[in-house]
Chain A
């Protein structure tokens, strides 16, 4: 396609995608930089005076530093649930790929169900309540683990098949038990897929709104997505602070994206195309 038409098409494509996909983010940024009065106009314009530092401070200080607490809560939730997911998920993926047993079809079916079936909300609360884990961080971590497990196992299992079985045999002959084999030999070799899983799941858990809403209610337990929601009602007219908050919670995914763009795309398409 070395026709001039290709240039034209490319040009139109670039302009259109930029307008459609960049302008909303630019709008967030510009709104976050404005004073309250100017932001209220909702105009797509350059701030006449930059107030971003004041806005960031105001957002952090609002409601007794709720956003700071929320960032801490979200970090704990993300780190804990993703770590547990990776270890438990790769244990399942390893045995599932290596050993043929009558359980395999059952596990396959459970994975498919986990990917498709929408979780039952109130019954999950009922179970958590019964275990004394409702409204606790531990409860929410376990919920995230349960809901993310199917996808993680699916992703890792495909990768386990690329590790030769001879390694297992060698380790066993050298006297390693299954636990040593898994943690010392297999897990380190899964590094590349684990990075993908960690990045994709971290973004998913960090951005999760519905599960914290249902299973960890309460201001003192808020995660970052919920602060966004609280802000909207409190600052129904203070758009500068709302958009500053949106900007702040977009930074972690942006950092992930800048460093792991290829991994994220690989993980999401691989998990998907497997089907």
Chain B
């Protein structure tokens, strides 16, 4: 177990330092318009994937990002190490390694959960039409997230019928200039077609109810200036295991000191996760862009 964390930290550290030490070159996108990284690795807010293609690469360019994210909750720690790259502001590829750790296993002896659940998410996204800023209509993108749960025992015990699954989502994002208090406002709406339980940490599907469902996700952000944004997010979730799985929400502060660095801090409310109520806590994500 120590080895696993050490390996991940080394891998993430290597990727981050490679990007940070790479020759100074930045894509042409406007500062902050490559968004942050959501927990499954796609460009987006903290919880919700946006129609934005990751990285600062505009037309004829590419751009990449590597990030480390930590969510601290009363009974869990969620960690994500993710990379994504966008090409030609048209397609995005991403990979995320997620770890959900139960803090105090001794106190929950007899629970069906492993101490650690690890999940890999392979993502792809394509911009179908529109532009985030310049055209009257929103930017629309279609994405997929293929998830493989490496510790499916907990989900299986609770009734999930698969250890892997694929989410499909359609997102619309638009930055409205000079929209509210003379500030720029970002709005995003995402429809997700998913059969994941707790985003896959508790497996996929359920006995007798294996059809995926449509879920609604939304984000709103206000840019105080070019470098700082405040926002909120909402992510609806299914409850196919009948555990009272909660919708997720957060309120975030995003800082874009330069095209190289993105930092997002948030207060998150994940509600009831598996058997544990009131999972509210902090969220911190640090991202390096090439």
A, B co-complexed: no
Interface residues of A (CB under 8 A from B): none
